[in-house]
Amino acid sequence: MPKKKQLEKILEVKEFYPRLEKRALELIEKLGQDGSLPMYKNWMRLVEQLHLTLQKNVRLQEERYKKEFASLWSHAYVER
Amino acid sequence: MQGLDPTEPTKEALQEVICKVFSHLRLREAERLFLLLAFNISFDGHNLTPRRASGEIYFLHVFRQFICAAFLMSRHQVLSIKMLAAILLHGTVEDATKAGSTRLLAKTTIHLILQDEDVEYMVMCLTKKASPKEERRAYLKRVLSVDVWEVLELNPLTQTITSSPYRRCQRKSSWRKSLK
Protein backbone atom coordinates (compact mmCIF):
# COMPACT_ATOMS: atom_id res chain seq x y z
CA MET A 1 0.00 0.00 0.00
CA PRO A 2 1.46 3.42 -0.88
CA LYS A 3 2.57 5.52 2.11
CA LYS A 4 0.09 8.33 1.41
CA LYS A 5 -2.80 5.88 1.34
CA GLN A 6 -1.58 4.30 4.58
CA LEU A 7 -1.48 7.71 6.27
CA GLU A 8 -5.03 8.44 5.04
CA LYS A 9 -6.16 5.10 6.50
CA ILE A 10 -4.53 5.92 9.83
CA LEU A 11 -6.26 9.31 9.99
CA GLU A 12 -9.66 7.79 9.19
CA VAL A 13 -9.14 5.19 11.88
CA LYS A 14 -8.14 7.95 14.29
CA GLU A 15 -11.40 9.74 13.55
CA PHE A 16 -13.74 6.72 13.67
CA TYR A 17 -12.43 4.50 16.43
CA PRO A 18 -13.27 6.77 19.38
CA ARG A 19 -16.86 6.84 18.06
CA LEU A 20 -16.89 3.05 17.77
CA GLU A 21 -15.53 2.73 21.30
CA LYS A 22 -18.11 5.13 22.76
CA ARG A 23 -21.02 3.38 21.06
CA ALA A 24 -19.79 -0.11 21.95
CA LEU A 25 -19.36 0.88 25.60
CA GLU A 26 -22.89 2.32 25.68
CA LEU A 27 -24.36 -0.86 24.20
CA ILE A 28 -22.37 -3.12 26.54
CA GLU A 29 -23.44 -1.14 29.59
CA LYS A 30 -27.08 -1.25 28.51
CA LEU A 31 -26.92 -5.03 27.98
CA GLY A 32 -25.10 -5.50 31.28
CA GLN A 33 -27.74 -3.60 33.21
CA ASP A 34 -30.48 -5.63 31.48
CA GLY A 35 -28.70 -8.73 32.69
CA SER A 36 -28.28 -10.12 29.19
CA LEU A 37 -24.49 -9.78 29.10
CA PRO A 38 -22.64 -11.51 31.93
CA MET A 39 -19.25 -10.14 32.97
CA TYR A 40 -20.07 -6.89 31.19
CA LYS A 41 -17.57 -4.90 33.26
CA ASN A 42 -14.78 -7.19 32.01
CA TRP A 43 -15.95 -6.64 28.44
CA MET A 44 -15.92 -2.91 29.02
CA ARG A 45 -12.38 -3.13 30.35
CA LEU A 46 -11.36 -5.18 27.31
CA VAL A 47 -12.84 -2.59 24.94
CA GLU A 48 -11.10 0.26 26.75
CA GLN A 49 -7.77 -1.59 26.75
CA LEU A 50 -8.16 -2.42 23.07
CA HIS A 51 -8.77 1.19 22.12
CA LEU A 52 -5.89 2.42 24.24
CA THR A 53 -3.57 0.05 22.36
CA LEU A 54 -5.04 1.17 19.05
CA GLN A 55 -4.63 4.84 19.89
CA LYS A 56 -0.99 4.20 20.82
CA ASN A 57 -0.42 2.27 17.56
CA VAL A 58 -2.07 5.00 15.51
CA ARG A 59 -0.04 7.73 17.22
CA LEU A 60 3.23 5.85 16.64
CA GLN A 61 2.39 5.14 13.00
CA GLU A 62 1.36 8.73 12.38
CA GLU A 63 4.63 10.01 13.85
CA ARG A 64 6.62 7.53 11.78
CA TYR A 65 4.91 8.50 8.53
CA LYS A 66 5.19 12.21 9.27
CA LYS A 67 8.92 11.78 9.88
CA GLU A 68 9.25 9.84 6.62
CA PHE A 69 7.35 12.52 4.74
CA ALA A 70 9.47 15.24 6.33
CA SER A 71 12.69 13.49 5.24
CA LEU A 72 11.26 13.07 1.73
CA TRP A 73 10.51 16.80 1.55
CA SER A 74 13.99 17.76 2.79
CA HIS A 75 15.58 15.45 0.16
CA ALA A 76 13.45 17.05 -2.54
CA TYR A 77 14.50 20.50 -1.35
CA VAL A 78 18.23 19.59 -1.36
CA GLU A 79 17.96 18.10 -4.86
CA ARG A 80 16.27 21.21 -6.19
CA MET B 1 4.14 -19.38 16.99
CA GLN B 2 7.86 -19.83 17.46
CA GLY B 3 9.45 -22.44 15.23
CA LEU B 4 6.99 -21.80 12.40
CA ASP B 5 8.35 -20.88 9.03
CA PRO B 6 6.50 -17.57 8.43
CA THR B 7 6.46 -18.07 4.69
CA GLU B 8 5.31 -21.69 4.58
CA PRO B 9 3.40 -22.76 7.69
CA THR B 10 1.43 -25.94 7.09
CA LYS B 11 -2.19 -26.35 8.06
CA GLU B 12 -1.20 -29.06 10.56
CA ALA B 13 1.35 -26.78 12.25
CA LEU B 14 -1.26 -24.03 12.61
CA GLN B 15 -3.79 -26.54 13.90
CA GLU B 16 -1.31 -27.55 16.57
CA VAL B 17 -0.99 -23.93 17.63
CA ILE B 18 -4.75 -23.43 17.68
CA CYS B 19 -5.19 -26.54 19.85
CA LYS B 20 -2.76 -25.04 22.37
CA VAL B 21 -4.89 -21.87 22.38
CA PHE B 22 -7.99 -24.01 22.98
CA SER B 23 -6.46 -25.68 26.00
CA HIS B 24 -5.31 -22.31 27.32
CA LEU B 25 -8.88 -20.99 26.99
CA ARG B 26 -10.25 -24.24 28.51
CA LEU B 27 -12.83 -24.68 25.77
CA ARG B 28 -15.44 -27.41 25.72
CA GLU B 29 -15.45 -30.02 22.98
CA ALA B 30 -18.34 -28.41 21.05
CA GLU B 31 -16.62 -25.00 21.16
CA ARG B 32 -13.33 -26.49 19.95
CA LEU B 33 -15.11 -28.18 17.08
CA PHE B 34 -16.92 -24.98 16.12
CA LEU B 35 -13.70 -22.96 16.04
CA LEU B 36 -11.87 -25.73 14.17
CA LEU B 37 -14.58 -25.62 11.50
CA ALA B 38 -14.17 -21.84 11.23
CA PHE B 39 -10.37 -22.32 11.06
CA ASN B 40 -10.71 -24.85 8.23
CA ILE B 41 -13.13 -22.67 6.22
CA SER B 42 -10.85 -19.66 6.62
CA PHE B 43 -7.62 -21.56 5.81
CA ASP B 44 -9.10 -23.18 2.70
CA GLY B 45 -10.76 -19.90 1.69
CA HIS B 46 -7.44 -18.05 1.85
CA ASN B 47 -5.45 -20.85 0.27
CA LEU B 48 -5.20 -19.14 -3.11
CA THR B 49 -5.20 -15.55 -1.86
CA PRO B 50 -2.04 -13.73 -3.00
CA ARG B 51 0.74 -13.55 -0.42
CA ARG B 52 1.32 -10.44 1.65
CA ALA B 53 4.17 -8.05 0.83
CA SER B 54 6.29 -9.71 3.53
CA GLY B 55 6.10 -13.03 1.65
CA GLU B 56 4.00 -14.84 4.24
CA ILE B 57 0.75 -16.57 3.32
CA TYR B 58 -2.30 -14.35 3.78
CA PHE B 59 -3.98 -16.62 6.32
CA LEU B 60 -1.17 -16.08 8.81
CA HIS B 61 -2.30 -12.47 9.15
CA VAL B 62 -5.84 -13.58 10.09
CA PHE B 63 -4.45 -16.25 12.37
CA ARG B 64 -2.33 -13.72 14.23
CA GLN B 65 -5.39 -11.54 14.76
CA PHE B 66 -7.24 -14.56 16.16
CA ILE B 67 -4.42 -15.35 18.62
CA CYS B 68 -4.26 -11.71 19.68
CA ALA B 69 -8.05 -11.56 20.31
CA ALA B 70 -7.99 -14.87 22.21
CA PHE B 71 -5.13 -13.58 24.36
CA LEU B 72 -6.99 -10.34 25.09
CA MET B 73 -10.17 -12.23 26.05
CA SER B 74 -8.25 -14.59 28.28
CA ARG B 75 -6.54 -11.66 30.00
CA HIS B 76 -9.88 -10.02 30.77
CA GLN B 77 -11.51 -13.35 31.75
CA VAL B 78 -14.22 -13.17 29.10
CA LEU B 79 -14.87 -15.40 26.15
CA SER B 80 -16.98 -15.17 23.01
CA ILE B 81 -16.65 -18.15 20.68
CA LYS B 82 -18.76 -16.39 18.08
CA MET B 83 -16.48 -13.36 18.03
CA LEU B 84 -13.42 -15.59 17.70
CA ALA B 85 -15.05 -17.47 14.81
CA ALA B 86 -15.98 -14.16 13.15
CA ILE B 87 -12.36 -12.99 13.46
CA LEU B 88 -11.16 -16.13 11.71
CA LEU B 89 -13.75 -15.70 8.97
CA HIS B 90 -13.88 -11.92 8.58
CA GLY B 91 -11.97 -11.78 5.30
CA THR B 92 -13.19 -15.01 3.75
CA VAL B 93 -16.12 -13.52 1.81
CA GLU B 94 -14.32 -10.29 0.90
CA ASP B 95 -11.21 -12.06 -0.40
CA ALA B 96 -13.12 -14.87 -2.13
CA THR B 97 -12.64 -13.37 -5.60
CA LYS B 98 -8.91 -12.88 -4.97
CA ALA B 99 -8.73 -16.57 -4.05
CA GLY B 100 -10.40 -17.62 -7.29
CA SER B 101 -13.79 -18.32 -5.74
CA THR B 102 -16.99 -16.26 -5.48
CA ARG B 103 -18.49 -14.30 -2.61
CA LEU B 104 -21.71 -16.31 -2.84
CA LEU B 105 -19.83 -19.59 -2.57
CA ALA B 106 -17.86 -18.38 0.46
CA LYS B 107 -21.02 -17.10 2.15
CA THR B 108 -22.89 -20.36 1.44
CA THR B 109 -19.97 -22.40 2.82
CA ILE B 110 -20.07 -20.47 6.10
CA HIS B 111 -23.86 -20.79 6.23
CA LEU B 112 -23.93 -24.52 5.57
CA ILE B 113 -20.95 -25.62 7.62
CA LEU B 114 -21.20 -23.41 10.71
CA GLN B 115 -24.99 -23.03 10.73
CA ASP B 116 -24.77 -20.01 12.98
CA GLU B 117 -26.72 -16.89 12.04
CA ASP B 118 -24.87 -14.62 14.47
CA VAL B 119 -21.43 -15.44 13.08
CA GLU B 120 -22.74 -15.10 9.53
CA TYR B 121 -24.23 -11.68 10.38
CA MET B 122 -20.97 -10.50 11.97
CA VAL B 123 -18.92 -11.66 8.99
CA MET B 124 -21.27 -9.98 6.52
CA CYS B 125 -21.21 -6.72 8.54
CA LEU B 126 -17.41 -6.75 8.37
CA THR B 127 -17.34 -7.49 4.64
CA LYS B 128 -16.92 -4.48 2.36
CA LYS B 129 -19.52 -4.36 -0.39
CA ALA B 130 -18.29 -5.24 -3.87
CA SER B 131 -20.62 -3.44 -6.25
CA PRO B 132 -20.42 -0.50 -6.09
CA LYS B 133 -17.07 -0.82 -4.34
CA GLU B 134 -17.40 0.41 -0.78
CA GLU B 135 -14.80 2.94 0.35
CA ARG B 136 -13.20 2.65 3.77
CA ARG B 137 -15.04 5.71 5.13
CA ALA B 138 -18.45 4.42 4.00
CA TYR B 139 -17.62 1.00 5.41
CA LEU B 140 -16.69 2.41 8.82
CA LYS B 141 -19.89 4.51 8.84
CA ARG B 142 -21.92 1.39 8.10
CA VAL B 143 -20.20 -0.52 10.92
CA LEU B 144 -20.91 2.42 13.24
CA SER B 145 -24.63 2.20 12.52
CA VAL B 146 -24.88 -1.47 13.58
CA ASP B 147 -26.62 -2.06 16.91
CA VAL B 148 -24.58 -5.14 17.87
CA TRP B 149 -21.60 -4.26 20.03
CA GLU B 150 -19.64 -7.33 18.93
CA VAL B 151 -19.65 -6.04 15.36
CA LEU B 152 -18.48 -2.61 16.54
CA GLU B 153 -15.52 -4.15 18.32
CA LEU B 154 -14.60 -6.79 15.77
CA ASN B 155 -13.08 -4.27 13.41
CA PRO B 156 -10.78 -2.75 16.07
CA LEU B 157 -9.92 -6.29 17.24
CA THR B 158 -8.65 -7.10 13.78
CA GLN B 159 -6.58 -3.89 13.73
CA THR B 160 -4.52 -4.50 16.86
CA ILE B 161 -1.66 -5.91 14.82
CA THR B 162 -0.42 -3.54 12.20
CA SER B 163 2.44 -5.52 10.72
CA SER B 164 3.80 -9.03 11.01
CA PRO B 165 6.69 -9.87 13.34
CA TYR B 166 8.41 -11.31 10.26
CA ARG B 167 8.09 -7.94 8.48
CA ARG B 168 9.27 -6.10 11.59
CA CYS B 169 12.37 -8.35 11.70
CA GLN B 170 13.05 -7.60 8.05
CA ARG B 171 12.63 -3.88 8.69
CA LYS B 172 14.94 -4.05 11.70
CA SER B 173 17.64 -5.93 9.80
CA SER B 174 17.52 -3.45 6.90
CA TRP B 175 17.77 -0.65 9.43
CA ARG B 176 20.82 -2.35 11.00
CA LYS B 177 22.39 -2.75 7.58
CA SER B 178 21.92 0.94 6.85
CA LEU B 179 23.80 1.76 10.06
CA LYS B 180 26.84 -0.33 9.05
How far is the alpha carbon of B12 from chain A, nearest alpha carbon, in Å? 30
User: What pLDDT sits at residue B172?
Assistant: 54
- For residue B141, the chain A residue with the least C-alpha distance is A16
Distance CA B90, CA B142 (A): 16
pTM above 0.90, yes or no: no
User: What pLDDT sits at residue B5?
Assistant: 60
Comparing CB atoms, the residue among B77, B141, B157 nearest residue A50 is B157
Comparing CB atoms, the residue among A21, A42, A54 nearest residue B78 is A42
Task: Report whether pLDDT(B122) > 80.
Answer: yes
Complex-level ipTM: 0.78
User: What pLDDT sits at residue B8?
Assistant: 73
Minimum mean pLDDT range among A24-28, B105-109, B132-136: B132-136
Distance CA B62, CA B160 (A): 11
Interchain pair B78, A19: CB under 8 A: no
B interface toward A at CB cutoff 8 Å? 72-73, 75-78, 136-137, 140-141, 143-144, 147-149, 152-153, 155-157, 159-160, 162
Task: Report whether pLDDT(B178) > 80.
Answer: no
Interchain pair A54, B149: CB under 8 A: no
Distance CA A59, CA A69 (A): 15
Distance CA B159, CA B155 (A): 7
Comparing CB atoms, the residue among B76, B137, B144 nearest residue A23 is B144
Interchain pair B152, A54: CB under 8 A: no
User: What pLDDT sits at residue A28?
Assistant: 95
Residues of A in contact with B72 (CB under 8 A): 46, 49-50
The predicted model gives B27-41 an average pLDDT of 94
User: What pLDDT sits at residue A72?
Assistant: 66
Interchain pair A31, B149: CB under 8 A: yes
Task: Report whether pLDDT(B167) > 60.
Answer: no
Minimum mean pLDDT range among A28-32, B23-27, B29-33, B50-54: B50-54
Taking only the tens place, the pLDDT of each residue in A39-80 is: 999 999 999 999 998 888 888 887 887 777 776 666 655 555
Q: Which of B76, B90, B85 is nearest to B22 (CA)?
A: B85
* Of B95 and B52, the one with more pLDDT: B95
Task: Report whether pLDDT(B162) > 70.
Answer: no
Task: Report whether pLDDT(B163) > 60.
Answer: no
* Of B63 and B57, the one with more pLDDT: B63
User: What pLDDT sits at residue B41?
Assistant: 93
Distance CA B33, CA B28 (A): 9
Residues of A in contact with B157 (CB under 8 A): 50
Comparing CB atoms, the residue among A24, A39, A61 nearest residue B78 is A39
3-state percent breakdown (helix, strand, coil) of chain A, nearest 5: 90, 0, 10
